Structure 1
Amino acid sequence: MTKPSSHSSDPEVGHHEALHAIRSAASISMSPELFEKLYLAPPNAVKGDLRKTFGNPTPLALAGFLLALMPLSCDLMGWRGASHFGAASIPVYFFEGGVLMVISGIMEWILGNSFPSCVFTSFGFFYLSFGGILHPSFAAYSSYAPADAKSPAEGMTTKGFNASLGFFLLAMTLLSIIYLICALRTSVVFVVIFATLVPALLCLLGAFWAWADDYTGNTLLAQRLCVGAGALLFVTSFAGWYILLAILLAIVDFPIQIPVGDLSSVIKGKSEREMRLGK
């Protein structure tokens, strides 16, 4: 008869042994659903064991994205008198939204997670660019101010400034549409993020081009479009908070896990389809 272990009656030791077993198993294999939840991308084969060496940068990027986006959505809706596209949050756009997301995107690239790396890095630089547009030292709007302007901020009311900024938002919209299509292989929540982000960017695009056509006459229309964009971005933020919570709960092996709606098993990849067909 096997002699029972002296540690079997110690609940503390048993807890640590169980936790070690879970972590050891997780380091050996990971289900496609869990991988997609943790990294926001379908599993991909990469050389080396960097994912076992370094931590997961995905929640860090989401935190930066949300800490900049949620205040912006409230600013656009004008809650509690907020205005001017969150100019008070320029440092937040630079450091939380910009630096944090770019660093996280580079870390994703090191781990071989190309899709989240592309998403996080591009949106990180979008935040840096947006903060730079609002910051006076970049002269983004003061360059358009008339020679007799009493304030550099008068450049924001010009046709040239609003039309040019609209084209930047148009490019971001096209990029987000591409991300939306690719996200169909990840999760429902990630799809919701881009599905609300795209119309939000279109609303902002419409607002700036409305101001470009007639700043005074189209002010009411542009303000309504900004409020609509803010409402959509608020939904984007809510979806982002949800997926951030889901990832962190999975990372700490919390007893309660929340679903994100895995789509990698619903929309099969091209390589998986070819493998099933024997190609």
Structure 2
Amino acid sequence: MQQLRNAQTINMSAELFEKLFLSRHDSISGTVDWRKSLGNPTPIALVGIVISLTPLSCDLMGLLGAGGNGAAGVATYYFFGGLLLLLAALLEWLMGNTFPSVVFAAYGAFFFSFGGTLTPSFAAFASYAPAGADPASGLRTQAFNASFGWILVWMCVLSLMFFICSLRTNIALVTIFFSLVGVFGTLAGAYFFLAANFDRNGSTAGTFVKAGGVCGFVASMATWWFLLSTLLDTVDFPIRLPLGDLSGWIEPGSARRGSMA
């Protein structure tokens, strides 16, 4: 009886320990309920976005002497923008959340790519430099600027697709994706101006870069709001920040198909 009253004296066989604590917690149907097994991965991705995009936006706007098109934040793009977003994308995929999984994977891959472009060992711009010249001279070539501009163009198109899909979610996401369309669109314009004539169009391209920074800052602030709202909800805080639900604004396709049946 004394052993039953004192939990420290209970002996447990290895077989019983494995059965209680090491076996898979499958549902009756034999599948794992990932929603109960894992936490909410969305804040992980949002942290990656705000710590990557906010400083980059300040660099593009040239605030307090910042500049260099975000070259100082290369490590941030790898570990916050790339790693955290791809990790969150995988977790969202495991939980069956297709849209956020695709979004996080796309922007995570972009931040990895952007960081790689700014890393000299990748030779992204050095490959365009004339033989024997400074590798940085490749940044002034038409081929590099036009090629990088096309990457931004198609990221703009992808962001536009995300924006259209977000019209059934909330105002915060709509603001983020609409602003990102502006970011990639204006930066693409800047690089195409540089490709046309680097020296003559430098001032115009700089204006486009600053405009991209403004759009990025708007997207960052909306993401900060989204992050705080999500974290408050995670800890069951009594105050909730509204995200502007739009789920009832557009009729779901399933409901429309059901009414036509």
AA partner of residue 82 (structure 2) = G
Q: In terms of mean alpha carbon deviation, does 184-193 or 257-266 score higher?
A: 257-266
Q: CA deviation at 1:115?
A: 0.2
Q: CA deviation at 1:49?
A: 2.3
Equivalent residue for 1:178, pick from 158, 161, 185: 161
Aligned length: 231
Q: CA deviation at 1:148?
A: 4.1
- Give runs of aligned pairs for residues 26-175 of structure 1, distance below 5 A: 49-149=33-133, 151-175=134-158
- Give TM-score, length-normalised by structure 2: 0.86
Asked whether 1:200 is paired with 2:183, we answer yes
Unaligned 5+ segments in structure 2 are 1-30
Q: CA deviation at 1:278?
A: 6.2
Equivalent residue for 1:217, pick from 200, 208, 213: 200
| C-alpha distance in 1 between matches for 2:49 and 2:160 | 18
AA partner of residue 157 (structure 1) = R
Q: CA RMSD, aligned part only?
A: 1.1
Q: CA deviation at 1:272?
A: 2.0
| C-alpha distance in 1 between matches for 2:244 and 2:250 | 12
Q: Which residue of 2 aligns with 1:230?
A: 213
AA partner of residue 56 (structure 2) = L
| C-alpha distance in 1 between matches for 2:260 and 2:241 | 36
Partner SS state of residue 185, structure 1: coil
Q: Which residue of 2 aligns with 1:19?
A: none
Q: Can you list the C-alpha shifts for 1:78-114, whole angstroms capped at 9, x where unaligned?
A: 1122111111110000010001100100000000000
| C-alpha distance in 1 between matches for 2:42 and 2:158 | 20
Q: Which residue of 1 aligns with 2:15?
A: none
Identity %: 47
Partner SS state of residue 210, structure 2: helix
Q: CA deviation at 1:265?
A: 1.9
Q: Can you list the C-alpha shifts for 1:144-167, whole angstroms capped at 9, x where unaligned?
A: 011242x21110000000000001
| C-alpha distance in 2 between matches for 1:250 and 1:133 | 37
Q: CA deviation at 1:269?
A: 1.1
Q: CA deviation at 1:181?
A: 0.5
| C-alpha distance in 1 between matches for 2:118 and 2:191 | 14
AA partner of residue 153 (structure 1) = A
Q: Can you list the C-alpha shifts for 1:119-159, whole angstroms capped at 9, x where unaligned?
A: 0011001000000000000000000011242x211100000
Q: In terms of mean alpha carbon deviation, does 155-164 or 256-265 score higher?
A: 256-265
Q: Can you list the C-alpha shifts for 1:4-35, whole angstroms capped at 9, x where unaligned?
A: xxxxxxxxxxxxxxxxxxxxxxxxxxxxxxxx
Q: Which residue of 1 aligns with 2:12?
A: none
| C-alpha distance in 2 between matches for 1:61 and 1:110 | 15
